[in-house]
Amino acid sequence: MVDLTETFDVLVAGGGNAALCAAITARRAGATVLLAEHAPKAMRGGNSRHTRNVRALHHGPTGVLTDSYLEEEYWDDLKRVTAGKTNEALARMCIRASEHAPGFLESCGVVFQPSLSGTLSLSRTNAFFLGGGKALVNALYRTAEALGIVILYDTEVQHIEMKDGFATEAVVSHRGFPAKIRFKAFVASAGGFQANREWLRKYWGDAADNFQIRGTPYAQGRILKDLLGQGVQEVGDPTQFHAVANDARAPMEDGGLAMRLDCVPFSVVVNRDVERFYDEGEDVWPKRYAIWGRLIAQQPGQVAFAINDSQAQLDYLPPVFAPYRADSIAELAAQIGLDAVKLEKVVADYNAAVQPGTFSAQTLDDCRTEGLAPPKSHWARRIDTPPYYCHPLRPGITFTFLSVKVNERARVMMADGSPSANMFASGEIMSGNILGQGYLAGFGMAIGTVFGRIAGEEAAKLVRN
């Protein structure tokens, strides 16, 4: 039984990658550490459990990364996806430090794999975890246990007592029982608030009920709210989130990566009113998949339907849920409850607008429409070879952007501009400092690992002095 009357050097709130990196680093530096994870053991690890890679700067080929990926290119990639909504100093620091992220994770027992099928385009920039995020989380927990970090599952940190930016103790619910944990330094690594529907409803109204939460249901944002309510400086647009196109039949929570659909560029996509609403072939899918979640979230009923035919079936990764299938467009419309006449017209208009070209699934080809609004700029092929297929789509939310502000030593900043005396943050709960909008594959784990290490180091240093 853990003695909760003891004062721990460091309390880490959270149980994902950012929390574990902080806890391990602080413990290695000699601090006594308690890690409080809201989820039970079987569901530990937050969104980190669902990840598969980390984006890392490197000067030349490493065991798991090909070629090189240098600061300027990394920074350019980030600048592009965030459209400049970032903090350059913090971002560059994070980018430089990401070079050491894979090595640190390896020192914690994480195994990387040479990348294989379907991911080749990323093997230059991203290092893949063998077995994915759950294997990573398992390795980090084993390391944490071996180091003597006290780990409490089923323990929600509900409130941080603080005075003038100095935190003293945490009010927690430990297996359903109220308790207090005293500490000298606090690290907040409890993720975003994307699983908190009440909170999302504030900005999105009833639409929030139709959002699928891709990752952990424990991302309730309780600490985020608690800190922001006590004079901590906020950063990031509270209304915004990262979202992808998920299968509409996926579970409402925790469906993970396999629920995403890659069929959009090879389909026409209509909403509930049987209207197309965006260029499906605007750019290669890796560059566009992150906008489709939000596009669908803005449609009536937060639902959309990707329609294609038998020619397209092998152009995208196989889906978990079999598509609806019919021998005519009208029959397909009946199956999915859309107006058949309208859908036939949408497909006919589209087919009529398709220009001749040479189809190439992996590159920006010259197959496009002419005189169609919105256009389909690439991969536009007539939908005329039955059977016809439909994948129903819903938005799958990955994370929210609202964050606590931190400085480059991961220290939480107060609204008055002063740094907190003993509070630090790492991971999604502070990623809005760098990601004002958009997302770069593998950057979430880079932020968590880099700031987790800094937070752990700084917390331990503070306690030693």
Partner 1 sequence: MATESETVAEARRQMEICNACRYCEGYCAVFPAMTMRRAFTEGDLTHLANLCHGCKGCYHACQYAPPHPFGINIPVTFAELRNETYAQHAWPAPMGALFARNGTVVSLLAALGVALVLVLTVALQDPAVLWSAQRGAGAFFRVIPHWLMISLGVLTFGYALFAMAMGARSYWRATGSPAGAFAPAPTAEAAVDIVTMRNLGGGGHGCNDLDEGFSMRRRWLHQALFGGFMLCFAATCTGTIYHYVFGWKSPHAFFSLPVQFGTWGGVLMMIGAAGLAHVKIITDPVPVARKLAGGEFAMLALLFLIAATGLLLLAVRHTGAMGVMLAIHLGLVFAFFVVMPYSKMVHGVYRGLALLRNAKEKRGAAPAASAA
Stretch that binds ligand FAD, among 209-217, 278-286, 298-306, 412-420 (CB under 6 A): 209-217
- Quickly list DSSP for 190-255: ---STT-HHHHHHHHGGGGGG-EE-S-TT---HHHHHHHTTTBPEES-TT-EEEEEEETTS-SB--
Contact between 115 and ligand FAD by CB under 6 A: the answer reads no
Q: Please report whether residue 361 would count as binding partner 1 according to CB under 8 A.
A: no
Angle between helices 443-464 and 17-28 (to 10 degrees): 30
Residue 46 binding target from ligand FAD, partner 1, none, CB below 5 to 8 Å by type? ligand FAD
Options 178-186, 220-228, 313-321, 401-409: segment touching partner 1 (CB under 8 A):
313-321
Distance CA 292, CA 378 (A): 16
Residues 295 and 304: their CA atoms lie apart, in Å, by 9
Rounded CA-CA distance 143/119 in Å is 28
Per CB under 8 A, which of residues 118..147 are in contact with partner 1? 118, 128, 130-135, 138, 142
- The pair of structure tokens assigned to 245 is 């196109």
10 touching ligand FAD, by CB under 6 A = no
Shortest spacing between CB 154 and partner 1, in angstroms: 14
- Reduced to 3 states (helix: H, G, I; strand: E, B; else coil), residue 149 is coil
Question: How big is the CA angle at 199 (ends 196 and 202), to the nearest 5 degrees?
Answer: 150
Nearest distance from residue 214's CB to ligand FAD, in Å?
A: 4
16 vs 102, beta carbon nearer ligand FAD: 16
The H or E element containing residue 243 is strand 241-247
Q: Could you check whether the bond before residue 374 is cis, i.e. omega within 30 degrees of 0?
A: yes
Residue 259 or 423 having the CB closest to partner 1: 259
Q: Which two tokens stand for residue 300?
A: 């009536």
Interface mask toward ligand FAD for 365-404; x: CB under 6 A: ---------------------------------x------
**Alpha-carbon span 233 to 1, nearest angstrom:** 37
Q: Which of residues 51 and 422 has its CB atom nearest to ligand FAD in the complex?
A: 51
Residues 252-281 that bind partner 1 (CB under 8 A): 254, 256-259
428: contact with ligand FAD by CB under 6 A: yes
207 binds, among ligand FAD, partner 1, none (CB under 5 to 8 A by kind): none
Q: In angstroms, rounded to a whole number, what is the distance separating the alpha carbons of residues 339 and 349?
A: 16
Cα–Cα distance measured from residue 303 to residue 248, given in angstroms and rounded to the nearest whole number: 7
> Distance of CA 164 to CAs 7, 416, 423, 455, Å?
20, 10, 11, 20
Tokens representing residue 171 in the block: 């009010």
CB-wise, 2 or 353, nearer to ligand FAD? Answer: 2
For residue 440, the number of C-alpha atoms closer than 13 Å in the C-beta half-sphere is: 28
Residue 219, binding choice from ligand FAD, partner 1, none, Cβ under 5 to 8 Å by partner class: ligand FAD
* 18 interface partner picked from ligand FAD, partner 1, none, CB below 5 to 8 A per type: ligand FAD
The reply on whether position 156 binds ligand FAD by CB under 6 A is yes
- Work out whether 318 is an interface residue with partner 1 (CB under 8 A): yes
CA 265 to CA 246: how far, in whole Å? 14
Which residues inside 170-189 make contact with ligand FAD, applying CB under 6 A?
A: 189
Q: Does 319 bind partner 1 (CB under 8 A)?
A: yes
One of 2, 93, 111, 303 touching partner 1 (CB under 8 A) = 111
Write the secondary structure of 358-421 as one string of H (helix), E (strand) and C (coil): CCCCCCCCCCCECCCCCCCCCCCCCCCCCCEEEEEEEEEEEEECCEECECCCCEEEECCCCEEE
Over the window 256 to 295, marking each residue x when it contacts ligand FAD by CB under 6 A and - when it does not, the resulting string is: xx--------------------------------------
Radius of gyration of the chain (CA): 23
Looking only at residues 40 through 99 of this chain, which bind ligand FAD when binding is defined by CB under 6 A? 45-48, 50-54
- Options 17-25, 45-53, 198-206, 382-390: segment touching partner 1 (CB under 8 A): 45-53
Strand partners, 172: 157, 179
**What span, in angstroms and rounded, lies between the C-alpha atoms of 6 and 341?**
71
Applying CB under 6 A, which residues contact ligand FAD? 13-19, 36-39, 45-48, 50-54, 156-157, 189-191, 214-216, 218-220, 222-223, 256-257, 398, 427-428, 442-445, 448
Applying CB under 8 A, which residues contact partner 1? 42-43, 49-50, 52, 111, 113-114, 116-118, 128, 130-135, 138, 142, 251, 254, 256-259, 313-314, 317-320
